[in-house]
Structure formats: C-alpha cells, structure tokens
C-alpha cells in the first residue's frame, strides 16, 4: 500500500536530492532548488519555453477599437456570449491561480516545482488580462455583473462548484485517489474547458471583429498549451513511477464528464445564430479535442467517429507562417523552443 499524500516540508535537512532515486511525488527532498541536477528533462525544456513566452496585457494594443465595435458592430447574441464567456474564463484562471500552489506542495522535483510556479504566475496574468479587457471594452456598469454572473446563472454556478469541489476534495482528504483526480482535472481544465471560448473569439476575429481581444486570447492560449503539456507529462510520470496510483479508467470517465459539461455549457452560451458555431459543430469540435488530448497520454480516443475539425476557419491558426494569424509573432517568442517540445497544436 502506498503512503498517504503529505505536503512537502519547507526544509528537510535530513534528506538529500539524489536524482537517481528522485520521484515526482512522495520523495523526501531537502526542499532546496538544486536546478543543476535535474531528472525531468521535459520540465527543464518547458522552463525555457515559458520564460520566452513572457508577456503582459498592457502591451496588447487596439482594445479601444474593440470597445467601439462591441457597442456598435456586434450582434446582441455576440455581445451576450462575449460577456458570459469572459465570466467563465475569469473563474477558471482565478481558481487555477489559487489552486496551483496547493498542488505544488505535493510535487517533489524542484524542476517541476519551478514550472508550476511560473504557471501560477501566468494564470494571474490571465486574470489581469480579463480585467484589462473589461476595463477597456465593457461599460463600467456591467463589469460586476460579468464577474459575478454565476450568481444569476444556475448552470454556471453548478459548473463552477463542480470544478471547485474536485480540488477541495483533495485538500480535505489528501489520499492517492483524490490526488490523481486532482491531476486529471487540472489537465482537463487546461486542455478542454478553454477551447470553445478561444474558438469564439477567433471566429469573431475571422470576421474582423474584436481583433485586439482575440490577440490577447491568443497569448493566453499560448500559455495554456504549455500548461496542458505540463500536466500531460505529470500524468505520464505518475504512470511510470506509481502504477498503483495511475487509473486510466478514471481518466476516461473524467474526460467524458468534462466533454459533456463543456458541450452543454457551450450550447447554453453560444446560440445557434452565431456564425460557424452551431450546436453540431460545438459537439464535434469538443469531442475531437478530447481525442487529441487523450492521444497526448497515449490513450485511445473516446469518440473515434469524430475525425475532422468542423471549424475550418480555425485551420489558419495552425499555420505558424501566416502573417495574419501567427499569434506567436512577438519579440518575446522563440519558435525553435516551441517546436522542440513536440506539443499538440490543436485549437
């Protein structure tokens, strides 16, 4: 029987940092960030990518043009979706900013601790990004309603409470099963929950609407792709080092639940008359994305019947050489770092 999960002590002078026997969890490390001796090379590479990806929302220009378009050009349904999508994104990045330090307390590899700390910082930057968008684009009288939309919409409240509940369950009962569920839910939140919303902003920008907002979202998406990769690698390390904790059935069950929730919420927010984003396309896109994410874990697809991307207009975003759609264009971006990670560039 494996040990119950225990948070790392801040300093543990009785132990050492021997890389040859280090494990990603449940190792008695000193607590020292000895980063010249690392075991998980993917984490060291990821650190370089995340540092190169540094950005701040204040440097993204054009939001004043979006403010004019929001008031005069968007349809009522597009404005509604824009506001309530931001509400959910604000919740997701808020809970991740708070959640990640708790999670990091149980990781016993300093190179992984390092990138999780950077991820928490990036989640906070994302929260600031949404605040910047709201401050510039949306009338001040509407901002509190957007932040607290879950108080009015029972569907959003139930969804937020479900996500929070999985994280809180481990904090209250820190055992192996709850910890693995915690890891999976981090992976699912980063890899499934954001992407219909990214697709919405891309769809607007494809019609030359709210282009600055989409530029901000694209920087956020770039960060989220690193976060997806972090948790995919953590899951694979757990499988290798702690097969008694790893549970593929749990992954599939939680993925199925995440897909079902995402489809229902997307249909609730994105009404049928928003171009490209029909309910049929939402369902197929989410299921195809789930198959792609499972492949990162070397797991067979849950929805083998779904093959093609229904959002053909998003294919441009996968062309890193496209001048218009290359959301990696920035003085802080390093292409060679990005391509070396063998990520899945699925939008």
Residue 31 lies in a domain: no
Residue 152 lies in a domain: yes
Separation between Cα atoms, residue 63 and residue 45, nearest integer Å: 33
Separation between Cα atoms, residue 13 and residue 203, nearest integer Å: 54
pLDDT tens-digit readout, 158-201: 888 888 899 999 999 999 999 999 999 999 999 999 888 899 99
Domain of residue 281, CATH code: 1.10.620.20
Q: Which of 36-45, 127-136, 336-345 has the lowest mean pLDDT?
A: 336-345
Residue 45: name the closest of 186, 193, 226, 267 by CA. 226
What per-residue confidence (pLDDT) applies to 18? 84
Residue 38 lies in a domain: no
Mean of pLDDT values over 112-136: 96
Task: Give the single-character DSSP code of 192.
Answer: I
Separation between Cα atoms, residue 259 and residue 265, nearest integer Å: 10
Residue 171 CB partners (closer than 8 Å, separation 6+): 102
Separation between Cα atoms, residue 52 and residue 335, nearest integer Å: 10
Separation between Cα atoms, residue 219 and residue 294, nearest integer Å: 24
Q: Identify the bridge partners of residue 107 per DSSP, sorted by sequence position.
A: 25
- What is the span of the domain harbouring residue 265? 44-339
Separation between Cα atoms, residue 316 and residue 319, nearest integer Å: 5
25 vs 319, residue with greater confidence:
25
Phi, psi for residue 25 in degrees, rounded to 5? -135, 165
Task: Give the single-character DSSP code of 190.
Answer: I
Separation between Cα atoms, residue 120 and residue 126, nearest integer Å: 10
Q: Answer whether 56's CB lies under 8 Å from 126's CB.
A: no
What is the token pair recorded at 94?
């808020």
Q: Is 130 a catalytic residue?
A: yes
Task: Give the single-character DSSP code of 276.
Answer: T
Residue 14 lies in a domain: no
pLDDT tens-digit readout, 306-326: 988 888 777 665 543 333 333
Domain count, the chain: 1
- Look at the alpha carbons of 20, 24, 27, 31 in this order and tell me if their dihedral is positive or negative: positive
Residue 6 lies in a domain: no
Residue 52 CB partners (closer than 8 Å, separation 6+): 332, 333, 334, 337
Residue 317 lies in a domain: yes
Residue 34 lies in a domain: no
Q: Answer whether 157's CB lies under 8 Å from 223's CB.
A: no
Q: Answer whether 186's CB lies under 8 Å from 193's CB.
A: no
Residue 8 lies in a domain: no
What is the token pair recorded at 176?
């192996």
Reported as a pLDDT band with limits 50, 70 and 90, residue 51 is very high
Pick the catalytic residue from 106, 130, 219, 246.
130
What per-residue confidence (pLDDT) applies to 347? 44
Portion of the chain with pLDDT greater than 90, in percent: 65
337 vs 99, residue with greater confidence:
99
Q: Would the pLDDT of 339 be above 60?
A: no
What is the token pair recorded at 225?
């792709």
């Amino acid at each position: 029987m494996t040990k119950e999960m225990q948070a790392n002590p801040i300093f543990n002078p009785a132990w050492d940092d021997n890389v040859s026997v280090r494990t990603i969890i449940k190792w008695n490390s000193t607590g020292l960030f000895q980063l010249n001796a690392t075991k998980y090379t993917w984490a060291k590479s990821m650190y370089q990518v995340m540092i190169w990806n540094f950005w701040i929302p204040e440097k993204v220009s054009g939001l004043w043009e979006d403010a004019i378009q929001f008031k005069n050009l968007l349809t009522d349904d597009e404005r509604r979706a824009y506001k309530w999508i931001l509400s959910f994104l604000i919740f997701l990045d808020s809970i991740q900013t708070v959640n990640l330090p708790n999670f990091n307390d149980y990781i016993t590899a300093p190179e992984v601790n390092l990138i999780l700390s950077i991820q928490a910082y990036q989640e906070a930057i994302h929260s600031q990004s949404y605040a910047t968008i709201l401050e510039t684009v949306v009338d001040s009288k509407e901002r509190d309603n957007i932040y607290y939309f879950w108080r009015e919409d029972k569907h959003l409240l139930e969804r937020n409470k479900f996500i929070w509940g999985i994280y809180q369950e481990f904090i209250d009962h820190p055992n192996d099963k709850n910890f693995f569920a915690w890891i999976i839910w981090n992976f699912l939140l980063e890899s499934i929950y954001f992407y219909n919303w990214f697709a919405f902003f891309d769809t607007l920008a494809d019609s030359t609407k709210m282009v600055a907002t989409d530029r901000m979202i694209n920087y956020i998406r770039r960060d989220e792709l690193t976060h997806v990769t972090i948790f995919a690698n953590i899951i694979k390390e757990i499988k290798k080092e702690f097969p008694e904790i790893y549970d593929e059935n749990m992954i599939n069950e939680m993925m199925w639940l995440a897909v079902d929730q995402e489809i229902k919420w997307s249909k609730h927010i994105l009404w049928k008359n928003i171009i490209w984003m029909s309910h049929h396309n939402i369902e197929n896109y989410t299921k195809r994305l789930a198959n792609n994410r499972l492949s990162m874990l070397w797991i067979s697809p849950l929805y083998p019947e779904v093959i093609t991307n229904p959002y053909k207009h998003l294919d441009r975003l996968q062309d890193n050489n496209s001048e218009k759609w290359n959301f990696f264009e920035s003085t802080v971006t390093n292409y060679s770092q990005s391509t070396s990670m063998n990520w899945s560039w699925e939008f």
